[in-house]
Amino acid sequence: MNAYPGVFTEESATPVVRRVALSHLSIELGHLYMDDFSAGEERLREHFRRVLPWVRTAEQACADEVHRGRPRVSTCFLVDDYFTRFGSPAEVVDALMGAAGDAGLTIDYVARESGCATADGVDLATLVRQHLVAEPPEGDNGGRPPTAVSGWLSNGERAETAPAAAMAAPRPWQPPRQSAVQNHSIFVDIELWNGPTGEVLWSCPFLAAVWQLQRLGLIRHLGEPVAEPRPATADELADDWDRMPAVVQLNPRATPFRAYRTFSALDARFLPIELAVRTILGQVAVDATVAAQVRERAKGDGITLPDEVVDRIRYAFL
Amino acid sequence: MIVFATSDKGGTGRSVTSSNVAYRHALQGGDCCYLDFDFGSPTSGAIFDLPDAYAGVPEGGLHSYLADGAAEPRRIDIWAESERDVLRGRPPGAGRLALFPGDRGGGEFRSAPEIVERCVDLLLRADEEFNLVIVDLSAGRSYATEIVLAATASTALRGVVARWLVFHRWTRQHIVAASGLVYGKHGILETATELGHDPVTVRDNIRFVRTAVLDPASPGQAGLRPEQLAWLDVCNKRLQELASRRRVGRTSVLAQIPLDPVLQWQEQLLSNDDVWLHRTANQRTVDAFDELAKKIVDDSAWIGL
């Protein structure tokens, strides 16, 4: 199958794209930072108590939308081991499972954030970066370096004062403008990474964008999915975060990790990060073959998926 | 007192004349400093024979101070550091003579509030320390001119006398250009008014200086043919008419600097030795510099028109 109509390619030049198992909905129960963990188990229990009603609602909404068969819903939890390292995988995962269980929730999958940067020897973040198609703002003249060089991505054009000739009246200030504007602009400029080549530090929103793409089953490397979940129990996990698989399946009876849609119950402080995530995902070109595959699978399940990736993501901000 | 030296076109002799005026003022006993605000080409060091600062100083010059906010700009004592014998050692009775050079490789920079603020500080301190502060600006409508106009409009510099010398050669194009720089669109008067100056005060403090003027009556023109002398005479009359129409006429002229062979070949300070010992420079030129140096600070030469 040629995913790019009108473009000639040898059939053997197109790598075979492997399908991934898909649930109907992937629910993210939360995102753990060192501060939350060090605040003690009560903080974790409190967190799960707060997200519980929203998780149940999301499950119900999903069940209402599924007309064929039983709804497949999996839950996941992301632990930040990229920006700060704390505890050991076994200790952290054990605490998480305990606190979730007390609230009546099951964590099917646990993932570590650095698994969004590198997983199974694949530089996942770079892979996604290479699929960025930054929209050029109207009237762009190259004065702003491209995203691939600067690591900055925006949704429009910046405010600026054009240089005036010497002794002429100063030019009026030009406000920023969002490209897809509806009456009034909300302009954002997002730092995707910083640091020198080879020692790049990816930003939290960029890794979160990779995380969403991963959960939506839209990432392939040479046609193969990356960071396939590995079954393990909390006791089996290594003591070192680097040796823990990027995604661990804790519940042997869980439905697939990836899903048609995602739902995230997050603290309201993550709102700006998710705005950045949505801006990034709006400018990521998902491989056409992969996108078509997922849409067709959904159609077979009796679900019509929106074309835009961001429209498959749902949230509850607490 | 601060004197701003500017011109609309390059090559008018603005820098060499104002350097000589600074030198003459110091010889007349006043303390004088020369600020190189020709940011696109900071080469005043060459005129003062400062080998280490021919094209600006390596660091800490006016660019660093104004644009980058570096502390205290570099200043050079001409009597101590010039390479020319005649400038080495302050002559008895002479005042101080200092140069504030630009940075080597420095270029023009846009005006900004913090730059104007630093410029105010610099001019204020220079005015307190020296009797005469000569600011050599870039040619034409420049950021340097915009910066000093904004600086002199500030309340801090309200009490300081600021005068303007607009240099032009005695040719048709230069007369039109000089007039345009002062009275034209986005010219000095318009910009000054925009920045809060009183236009009448500014206009009363602007005088023109004609440079490299060929005087048909001078003994130096003995080699010219009668036809050439006649043509020069006609041409001179026509230029005078043009100048008065353009408000660059006799009443607004402070000085006329004759064409000097030495300055045609080399921008330098003309010493008395150049006239009397080496006999290379003309006495008339040195006299013109001397007179201009006196007139700049002579209030009777600046009575409003």
Q: Determine the pLDDT at residue B190.
A: 96
- List strand residue ranges (DSSP E) for chain B, in order: 2-7, 32-37, 76-77, 97-100, 132-137, 162-169, 206-213, 253-258
- pLDDT tens-digit profile of A80-136? 999 988 888 999 999 999 999 999 999 999 999 999 999 999 999 999 999 999 988
CB contact at 8 A, A48 and A285:
no
**How many angstroms separate the CA atoms of B100 and B122, rounded?**
10
Q: Do A168 and B186 touch (CB under 8 A)?
A: yes
Torsional sign, CA A146, A150, A152, A157: negative
Q: How many C-beta neighbours within 10 Å does residue A135 have?
A: 15
**How many angstroms separate the CA atoms of A227 and B110, rounded?**
53
**How many angstroms separate the CA atoms of A119 and A260, rounded?**
22
Q: Determine the pLDDT at residue A164.
A: 80
Q: pLDDT-based confidence at A1, cuts 50/70/90? A: very low
Residue B49 token pair:
């024979």
Q: Give the helix/strand (H/E) hosting A94.
A: helix A89-103
Question: Mean per-residue pLDDT for B82-99?
Answer: 93
Q: What's the N-to-C CA distance of chain A in angstroms?
A: 44
Question: Mean per-residue pLDDT for A197-225?
Answer: 94
- DSSP label at residue B155: G
Q: Do B141 and A167 touch (CB under 8 A)?
A: yes
- At A10, is the secondary structure helix, strand, or coil? coil
- pLDDT tens-digit profile of B104-138? 999 999 999 999 999 999 999 999 999 999 999 99
* Closest CA–CA distance from residue A172 to any residue of chain B (Å): 15
Sequence-separated (6 or more) residues with CB below 8 Å from residue A225: A18, A20, A217, A219
* Closest CA–CA distance from residue A185 to any residue of chain B (Å): 28
CB contact at 8 A, B6 and B17:
no
Query: Exposed (0-12), middle (13-18) or buried (19+): which is B24, by Cβ within 10 Å?
Result: buried
- pLDDT tens-digit profile of A239-295? 889 899 999 999 999 999 999 999 999 989 999 999 999 999 999 999 999 999 999
Do strands A259-266 and A313-317 pair parallel, antiparallel, or not at all (unpaired)? parallel
Q: Do A166 and B187 touch (CB under 8 A)?
A: no
**How many angstroms separate the CA atoms of A124 and A132, rounded?**
13
With a cut of 70, say whether residue B61 has pLDDT above it: yes
- pLDDT tens-digit profile of A143-188? 889 998 899 999 998 888 777 888 887 788 889 999 988 899 999 9
Q: How many C-beta neighbours within 10 Å does residue B171 have?
A: 18
Question: Mean per-residue pLDDT for B172-187?
Answer: 96
Q: In chain B, what residues touch A166 (CB-CB under 8 Å)?
A: 108, 110-111, 141-143, 145-146
- At A269, is the secondary structure helix, strand, or coil? helix
Q: pLDDT-based confidence at A139, cuts 50/70/90? A: confident
CB contact at 8 A, B243 and B251:
no
- In terms of CA atoms, which chain B residue is nearest residue A168? B186
Sequence-separated (6 or more) residues with CB below 8 Å from residue A242: A114
* Closest CA–CA distance from residue B122 to any residue of chain A (Å): 21
**Mean pLDDT value across chain A:** 91
Q: Determine the pLDDT at residue A196.
A: 87
Q: pLDDT-based confidence at B16, cuts 50/70/90? A: very high
- pLDDT tens-digit profile of A233-250? 888 888 889 899 999 999
Q: Give the helix/strand (H/E) hosting B292.
A: helix B283-297
Residue B195 token pair:
């920045």
CB contact at 8 A, B62 and B102:
yes
- pLDDT tens-digit profile of B263-298? 988 899 999 889 988 889 999 999 999 999 999 999
With a cut of 60, say whether residue A2 has pLDDT above it: no
Question: Mean per-residue pLDDT for A21-37?
Answer: 91
Q: Do B145 and A169 touch (CB under 8 A)?
A: no
Q: Give the mutation candidate from B4, B115, B191, B193 for the A interface (greatest A CB count, under 10 A).
A: B191
Q: Give the helix/strand (H/E) hosting A110.
A: strand A109-112
B110 at interface of A, judged by CB pairs closer than 8 A: yes
Bridge partners of A119, per DSSP, are: A122
**How many angstroms separate the CA atoms of A171 and A174, rounded?**
9
Q: Give the mutation candidate from B37, B141, B147 for the A interface (greatest A CB count, under 10 A).
A: B141
CA distances from A149 to A22, A108, A125, A154, A160 (A): 35, 38, 15, 14, 21
Q: In chain B, what residues touch A169 (CB-CB under 8 Å)?
A: 186, 194
Q: Determine the pLDDT at residue A38.
A: 86
Q: pLDDT-based confidence at B214, cuts 50/70/90? A: confident
Residue B218 token pair:
């001078």
Q: How many C-beta neighbours within 10 Å does residue A189 have?
A: 14
Please provide the DSSP assignment of B223-268 as one string: GS-HHHHHHHHHHHHHHHHHHHHTT-SGGGEEEEEEP-HHHHH---
**How many angstroms separate the CA atoms of B17 and B196, rounded?**
30
**How many angstroms separate the CA atoms of B300 and B156, rounded?**
26
Q: Give the helix/strand (H/E) hosting A47.
A: helix A41-65
- In terms of CA atoms, which chain A residue is nearest residue B192? A167
- pLDDT tens-digit profile of B76-88? 999 999 999 989 9
Tell which B residues from 179 to 218 touch A, by Cβ distance under 8 Å: 186-188, 191, 194
Reported pTM: 0.79
Q: pLDDT-based confidence at A12, cuts 50/70/90? A: confident
Check residue A87 and give left, alpha or beta (phi > 0: left; psi -120 to 50: alpha). Answer: left
Q: Do B187 and A165 touch (CB under 8 A)?
A: no
Q: pLDDT-based confidence at A313, cuts 50/70/90? A: very high
Q: Please report the number of interchain residue pairs, chain A to chain B, with beta-carbon separation below 8 angstroms.
A: 25
**Mean pLDDT value across chain B:** 93
Helix axes of A41-65 and A89-103: crossing angle, nearest 10 degrees = 60
Q: Do A167 and B146 touch (CB under 8 A)?
A: yes
Q: Do B186 and A163 touch (CB under 8 A)?
A: no
Q: Do B141 and A163 touch (CB under 8 A)?
A: no
Q: Do B187 and A163 touch (CB under 8 A)?
A: no
* Closest CA–CA distance from residue A161 to any residue of chain B (Å): 12
- Cβ-nearest to A169 among B111, B142, B194: B194
CA distances from B200 to A50, B147, B196, B204, B205 (A): 74, 20, 12, 6, 9
Closest CA to A109 of A254, A316, A213, A217: A254
Q: Do A166 and B145 touch (CB under 8 A)?
A: yes
Q: In chain A, what residues touch B146 (CB-CB under 8 Å)?
A: 166-167
Q: Do B142 and A166 touch (CB under 8 A)?
A: yes
SS3 content of chain A, % helix, strand, coil (to 5): 35, 20, 45
Question: Mean per-residue pLDDT for B20-38?
Answer: 97
**How many angstroms separate the CA atoms of B50 and B58, rounded?**
13
Q: Determine the pLDDT at residue B305.
A: 55
* Closest CA–CA distance from residue A168 to any residue of chain B (Å): 6
Q: Determine the pLDDT at residue B304.
A: 66
With a cut of 50, say whether residue A190 has pLDDT above it: yes
Helices (H), B31-140: 44-47, 62-68, 78-81, 113-129
A contact set with B (CB within 8 A): 163, 165-169
Q: Give the helix/strand (H/E) hosting A31.
A: strand A23-32
- DSSP label at residue B102: -
With a cut of 80, say whether residue A5 has pLDDT above it: no
Q: Determine the pLDDT at residue A172.
A: 86
Q: In chain A, what residues touch B110 (CB-CB under 8 Å)?
A: 163, 166
Q: Give the helix/strand (H/E) hosting A261.
A: strand A259-266
Q: In chain B, what residues touch A165 (CB-CB under 8 Å)?
A: 141, 186
